[in-house]
Amino acid sequence: MRESGSLELDPSVSAAMEPERAATMPLETLRAQTVLQEGMLGRKHDVDGSGKKASNRSWTTLFFVLKPEQLSAYKDLKTYSHGITYHGENPLFLSDASWEILNIYKKKKHICKLRLSDGSEYLFQCKDEEELQRWSQAMQRAFQPLAAEEASGPSGAKTHSLPPPSSSAALPEPSAGKKEKKFSLAGKKK
């Protein structure tokens, strides 16, 4: 026991109690692989799902993360790194959504509109034309997985699996008389 009264566990025991993630890629790496675009944008919720004007139509600058088929809003980069969305909002799902650059919007420049399948509409403001084009291209990539699935249909859906194990590559069975070696990620005690 430690002086603080907490129980000190053997490193091999504590490693066994942790969730199994040592054999998988770190969560941060997986998150980085799926991000198509991220950055600060102005956002205005213009129309809610019922087709009426949204109750709060003011502009808010937020940190957005675009992944295939979804767009999430965070207060800033720090809250994104902690996984805390802006006001606990769920991601906007991009199934049957449309993205349009609004050249005729008079109050602000570099505006685009995202219309969701439920009828909700959001306006986004980019800092310049270059950023507007980057977000527009990223949105097209975010919609592409949806278009590919719709084209193939449920009967033609593609699945990815590992090849079947070959008999020559099978691992040998441990002998009954031999002890099996166990490996630990924790260092040896000295």
Residue 179's pLDDT is: 53
Say if 39 falls within a structural domain.
yes
Residue 51 confidence (pLDDT): 86
Residue 56 lies in a domain: yes
CATH number, domain containing residue 49: 2.30.29.30
List all residues 6 or more positions away from 48 whose beta carbon is below 8 Å from its beta carbon. 54, 55, 119, 120
Give the per-residue pLDDT at 13.
Answer: 42
Q: For residue 186, what pLDDT band results from cuts at 50, 70 and 90?
A: low
- Residue 39 pairs in a beta bridge with 64
For residue range 40-98, list pLDDT tens digits in order: 999 999 999 888 999 999 999 999 999 999 999 999 999 999 999 999 999 999 989 99
| Mean pLDDT calculated for residue range 115-133 | 95
- Name the pTM for this structure: 0.61
Question: For position 50, what pLDDT does the model report?
Answer: 86
Residue 167: which pLDDT band, with cuts at 50, 70 and 90? very low
Q: Is residue 92 in some structural domain? A: yes
- Its domain, for residue 45, covers 30-100+115-127
**Residue 173, domain member (yes or no):** no
Q: Count of domains in the chain?
A: 1
